[in-house]
Homo-oligomer: A and B are copies of this chain.
């Protein structure tokens, strides 16, 4: 037995000739069978089965105006479970609408994002969903995208007016910080992303607002805003805790910073380093938070839901049920006390 490699996919013509009909009859049968005699339909379907025929979707969508059934999705980091869940949400809604997703990972790289978007457009995607890298917006302008609708998720792009799905970053950070203040803390550290990261800026704003509203000054010595990964976060936490006047509580603006802070707290406990056992508020959930040696409050949200909302917004443009100016959906977050 030789392999089947090299055997071209059968075409509609081959199905037609095997069923003894014209290609059009096959096409009509596959399209639902309107105006095709039942017995003919059966002959056609038999031929389809025997040949292992699959309709060529690319050829099908060649005709302008025909949807390709593809949604282009570009995210910044698939390895982050947050974005995995996001992608899952998008995929679910796309599947519910009979669409498939083409997925690209940008790795926070501008050039890569541009490249992905071009490719997506070239593949005739019906729509685009992306978690933008904080770059410029030229390649996302309507005149570049033509009629392809775009939804941004998690972040905005400066100067680009597009449908957007966000979390309530400011509100969540505000409430989380307020919870610490209510518990009597006044020396509250901040761990987060640099301000050029959209969510980093917003979450800092929430923290800052809660502090100043209560008349508690923000001390730059215990604000660290440039940690993108767990190791950097650990180091930042360490430096903060080593101060003569360390924070009694920490607001962590995302999962990576929280894990880093926890590692450092754990290290100090294991090594018997004296000093604070700071309470922690974490924007983003993490597993086993209940086993941590310090009280942890979680600002929780649902990335999958965010993905579903993004896709829903996109499809509302695609089916024409939403028109007009760009919309922003801001999803609520919930505070879970220890």
Binding site for B on A (CB under 8 A): 3-9, 52, 54-59, 61-62, 64-65, 68, 70, 77-81, 83-85, 87-88, 91-92, 95, 100-105, 118-119, 121-124, 142-147, 149, 259, 262-263, 266, 270, 286-288, 290-293, 304
Q: Which residues of B contact A118 (CB under 8 A)?
A: 54
CB distance A62 to B58 under 8 Å?
yes
Query: Complex: how many Å from CA A57 to CA B79?
Result: 28
Decide: B68 and A149 in contact? CB cutoff 8 A.
Answer: no
B100 touches A87 (CB 8 A): no
**In the bound complex, do residue B64 and residue A62 qualify as a contact, i.e. CB atoms below 8 Å apart?**
no
Selected from B58, B266, B304, the residue in CB contact (under 8 A) with A68 is B58
Instruction: Please tell me if the beta carbons of A147 and B8 are within 8 angstroms of each other in the complex.
Output: yes
Assembly stoichiometry (copies): 2
Contacts of A122 in B (CB 8 A): 54-57
Instruction: Determine which of B52, B91, B146 lies in contact with A7 in the assembled complex, contact meaning CB atoms within 8 Å.
Output: B146
B4/A147 in contact, CB under 8 A? yes
Distance in Å: Cβ of A46 to nearest Cβ of chain B: 16
User: What's the minimum C-beta distance from A31 to chain B, rounded to whole angstroms?
Assistant: 14
Q: Please, which residue of chain B has its CB at the minimum distance from the CB of A11? A: B64
What separation, in Å, do the CA atoms of A77 and B142 have in the docked complex? 34
Residues of B close to A100: CB separation below 8 A: 102-104, 119, 123
Given contacts A102-B70, A287-B286, contact A5 B149 (CB under 8 A): yes
CA distance A217 to B121 in the complex (A): 61
Of B77, B124, B147, the contact of A56 (CB 8 Å cutoff)? B124
Min CB distance A150 to B, Å, is 11
Q: How far is the CB of A94 from chain B (nearest CB, A)?
A: 9
Given the known inter-chain contacts A78-B84, A79-B84, A88-B79, please indicate yes or no for A9 contacting B58, CB distance below 8 A: no
CB distance from A80 to the nearest CB of B (A): 7
Interfacial chain B residues near A83, Cβ < 8 Å: 84
| Contact residues in B for A292 (Cβ distance below 8 Å) | 288, 291
Contact call A147/B5, Cβ cutoff below 8 A:
yes
Using known A-B contacts A79-B304, A81-B79, A81-B81, determine if residue A146 contacts B57 with beta carbons closer than 8 Å. no
Contact yes or no, B57 A119, CB < 8 A:
yes
The smallest beta-carbon distance between A11 and chain B, in angstroms, is 8
Closest residue to A5 on the B side, CB-wise?
Answer: B147
Q: Which B residue sits closest to A60, measured CB to CB? A: B122
- Which residues of chain B are within 8 angstroms of A68 by Cβ–Cβ distance? 58
CA distance A95 to B101 in the complex (A): 16
Q: When chains A and B are docked, how far (Å) is the Cα of A58 from the Cα of B81?
A: 32
Check B70–A88 contact: CB distance below 8 A.
no
Do B101 and A52 touch (CB < 8 A)?
no
> What are 25 A-B pairs with beta-carbon distances under 8 A?
A3-B142, A4-B142, A4-B145, A4-B147, A8-B146, A8-B147, A52-B143, A57-B119, A57-B123, A58-B58, A58-B123, A79-B85, A79-B88, A79-B304, A80-B84, A84-B84, A88-B105, A100-B119, A101-B103, A259-B288, A263-B288, A266-B291, A286-B288, A287-B287, A288-B288
Docked pose: A64 CA to B9 CA in angstroms:
9
10 more contacts with CB within 8 A, not counting A54-B118, A58-B58, A70-B102, are A3-B142, A7-B147, A8-B64, A9-B121, A58-B61, A62-B62, A78-B88, A81-B81, A101-B102, A286-B287
